Amino acid sequence: MKPQFRETTPAPESEPKAGSVPVPVWLFVALGLLAFWSLRFLDASGGGFSPKVYRPYASLASVAALQPKSEGDVMFASGQRTYDAMCSQCHGPTGLGDPTRMIPPLAGSDWVATASPGRLVRFVLDGLQGPITVKGQVWNGGTMPPWRDVLRDEEIAAALTYVRGNKNWGNSAPAVTPEQVKAIRDKVAARTAWLPEDLLKVPETE
């Protein structure tokens, strides 16, 4: 008996399911790069995920380093804000004044360097007019406005503390307290702007 051979046909290859779309390799690469960039960005900008840290600061330590460390630092920082808002338009952000308008400098000024702030407090309260000599140069920039009814004692004291103690300006005079400002405000009634020669009659120690 001859062996019988059956003719077999190869099984059909499995066909892709209807509706499926092959995912390109470049998409996986793009997603990987996006994830990597996102993690790098969070690491650089998240401040250790502390709610107290925001860009451009990278860590809580960098933020803490910029915070005032003492009561004097707090007052100095407050005085800078008051100066920037009220005084820098005339005397300049660096305290150098404005020669084009004949406004005198506060940086290195002999009026600023006095032991007592009494003269400074007086012309901040009631203004100043007429030519004034600063570091041997005469400045005649018109009238400085009075701030008696605009700034509180604490604001005047802080602004003068910032000016008198600003080492970047070459100044190193003692701080001014709100009590010193209040004492002069109570002692000297509101008046027209001071003349420099009248202020020079006020003792430096007052």
The predicted structure's pLDDT at residue 36:
81
Q: Which domain holds residue 174?
A: 71-199
Show the tokens assigned to 168: 């970047």
Asked whether residue 15 is domain-assigned, the answer is no
Token pair 């709610």 in the structure block, residue: 51
Cβ atoms of 161 and 87 closer than 8 Å: no
| pLDDT tens sequence for the chain (206 residues) | 555 555 555 555 555 555 566 777 787 788 888 888 776 766 665 544 465 555 555 565 665 656 656 778 889 999 999 999 999 999 999 999 999 999 999 999 999 999 999 999 999 999 999 999 999 999 998 899 999 999 999 999 999 999 999 999 999 999 999 999 999 999 999 999 999 999 999 998 88
Do residue 50 and residue 94 come from a single domain? Answer: no
| pTM given for the model | 0.68
Do residue 166 and residue 83 come from a single domain? Answer: yes
Do residue 195 and residue 132 come from a single domain? Answer: yes
In 3-state terms, what secondary structure has residue 179? helix
Cβ atoms of 155 and 163 closer than 8 Å: no
User: Could you tell me the CA-to-CA distances from 55 to 37, 45, 50, 51 in Å, in that order?
Assistant: 17, 6, 11, 11
Do residue 86 and residue 46 come from a single domain? Answer: no
Do residue 144 and residue 103 come from a single domain? Answer: yes
Do residue 140 and residue 176 come from a single domain? Answer: yes
How many CA atoms lie within 13 Å of 144's alpha carbon, on the beta-carbon side? 30
Do residue 192 and residue 94 come from a single domain? Answer: yes
- Into how many domains does the chain fold? 2
Cβ atoms of 113 and 173 closer than 8 Å: yes
**CATH number of the domain enclosing 149:** 1.10.760.10
Q: Of the residues 65, 80, 115, which one is the last residue of a structural domain?
A: 65
Asked whether residue 61 is domain-assigned, the answer is yes
Do residue 178 and residue 100 come from a single domain? Answer: yes
133: number of Cβ within 10 Å: 13
Asked whether residue 44 is domain-assigned, the answer is yes
Asked whether residue 13 is domain-assigned, the answer is no
How many CA atoms lie within 13 Å of 131's alpha carbon, on the beta-carbon side? 5
Do residue 94 and residue 179 come from a single domain? Answer: yes
Asked whether residue 142 is domain-assigned, the answer is yes
Do residue 43 and residue 131 come from a single domain? Answer: no
User: Could you tell me the CA-to-CA distances from 36 to 4, 39, 40, 44, 132 in Å, in that order?
Assistant: 65, 5, 6, 12, 64
Asked whether residue 9 is domain-assigned, the answer is no
Asked whether residue 94 is domain-assigned, the answer is yes
Q: Of the residues 65, 88, 121, which one is the last residue of a structural domain?
A: 65
